[in-house]
Amino acid sequence: MDAIFLQILNGLDKGSAYALIALGLTLIFGTLGVVNFAHGALFMIGAFCAVTLQRFLNLSYSAVDETKTDFLGNPMVVKTPYVEGWFGPELGQAIIAWSVPLAILLAIPVMLFVGFAMERGLIKHFYKRPHADQILVTFGLAIVLQEIIKYYFGANPIQTPAPPALVGSFDFGVLLGFDPNVIIYPIWRLVYFIFALVIICAVFAFLQFTTFGMVVRAGMADRETVGLLGINIDKRFTIMFGVAASVAGLAGVMYGPILAPNYHMGMDFLVLSFVVVVVGGMGSLPGAVAAGFILGILQSFASMNEVKALMPGIDQIVIYLIAIIILLTRPRGLMGRKGVMED
């Protein structure tokens, strides 16, 4: 029982990331009808927003501190980050320590901008082209984005630690009546899971309760009719692209402490996220979220030693195996509408 519980918990953080990326992917597909292979790159750019902010906050000036000497007896040069100079050492230190969550503030405008630029500059011209062309051009874009990041940040992963207060583990089992030290869960992963839930709820609330969201949903169901009503659906869809980009970006920002950002993380997550979208059903938002969590958890179950002993290698392929089975037996996925790209 406790083992099962632990695996579910372990699957949550990956599942959250899958769900967030897949949510954006399926949103773009549902609204714009575009298959966006560059969506993983948006996740990666988000993660590098955190890296950028961390680097920015650590920009320091050097000053000679006469009161201290180094081991040769010379006066020591002390580097002080500017933030500490501006806000005082304590608040400055705290700001630096909390750079990952703070990066959310940076990521939102950056991702909205990147999203708009991508849609207006490139994707717009591909609405009427075949899906294969959309896949190819966004695949090219993904390579470009990833190489730009690699050029500026190098090929090695960059550590972006969580705030000290959120480092360490949390004995989850005790809360649920298990023995102590049985179910221990890193706090940051829990934070990530809650963060993901908040964003998912926000996106759904936005689509459900605002007029804007209502129009977008109507457009997803029947674009032509909405267009006939004289509503400019394209403009709203552009904004949705920005929103989808932001969701992917935010998923990336907060993932930094779990996986040190590297330039190819986007591609790694992209393939899996596509599988998630397909399993959930192309164009279905609840499907994407459900499939994200289900696949994340299943993957964590498959990596249990007991399961691996039974089916060697299953941990490596479980997601793909499920995707193949779903595609063959129920091509519209778990919750997809009938007839969406089905044949």
Partner 1 sequence: MPGLDRKDTRFFILIVAATLLMPFILQPFPEGSGMAQFNAGYPDLMQRFVIFGIFAMGFNILFGLTGYLSFGHAAFLGVGSYATVWMYKLLGFNVVPGLILAVICSAIFAVVIGYVSLRRSGIYFSILTLAFAEMSYRLAYSVLTPITNGETGLQVYSNDPQVLMGPGSPESTHFFGLEMASSYVMQIGGWAFTFNFGFYFAAAIFIAMFYLTMRIFRSPFGMMLRAVKSNQQRMNYTGLNSRPYTLAAFVISGSYAGLAGGLLAAMDPLAGAERMFWTESGAVVLMTILGGAGTLLGPVLGAGFIKYFENIFSKINDNVLHGWFAWMPDGLEDFMVAIIHPFVGKGWHLTLGLLFMAVVIFLPGGLVEGGQRVARIFRRRDKKAPEGSPEEQAAEQRNPGPAE
Residue placing its CB nearer to partner 1 in the complex, 135 or 158: 135
Residue placing its CB nearer to partner 1 in the complex, 34 or 53: 34
Q: Cβ of residue 28: shortest distance to partner 1, in angstroms? A: 13
Residues engaged in binding partner 1 (CB under 8 A) = 35, 122, 125, 131-133, 135-137, 139-144, 146-148, 150-151, 267, 271, 274-275, 278, 282, 312-313, 316-317, 320-321, 323-324, 327-328, 331, 341, 343
Q: What is the 3-state secondary structure (H, E, C) of the chain?
A: CHHHHHHHHHHHHHHHHHHHHHHHHHHHHHHHCCCCCCHHHHHHHHHHHHHHHHHHHCCEEEEEEEEEECCCCCEEEEEEEHHHHHHCHHHHHHHHHCHHHHHHHHHHHHHHHHHHHHHHHCHHHHCCCCHHHHHHHHHHHHHHHHHHHHHHHCCCCCCCCCCHHHCCEEEHHHHCCCCCCCCEEEHHHHHHHHHHHHHHHHHHHHHHHCHHHHHHHHHHHCHHHHHHCCCCHHHHHHHHHHHHHHHHHHHHHHHCCCCCCCCCHHHHHHHHHHHHHHHHCCCCHHHHHHHHHHHHHHHHHHCCHHHHHHCCCHHHHHHHHHHHHHHHHCCCCCCCCCCCCCC
Q: Cβ of residue 331: shortest distance to partner 1, in angstroms? A: 6
Q: Cβ of residue 327: shortest distance to partner 1, in angstroms? A: 6
Residue placing its CB nearer to partner 1 in the complex, 35 or 250: 35
Residue placing its CB nearer to partner 1 in the complex, 144 or 201: 144
Q: Cβ of residue 234: shortest distance to partner 1, in angstroms? A: 20
Q: Cβ of residue 240: shortest distance to partner 1, in angstroms? A: 20
Residue placing its CB nearer to partner 1 in the complex, 214 or 271: 271
Residue placing its CB nearer to partner 1 in the complex, 99 or 299: 299
Q: Cβ of residue 283: shortest distance to partner 1, in angstroms? A: 12
Q: Cβ of residue 268: shortest distance to partner 1, in angstroms? A: 10
Residue placing its CB nearer to partner 1 in the complex, 20 or 277: 277
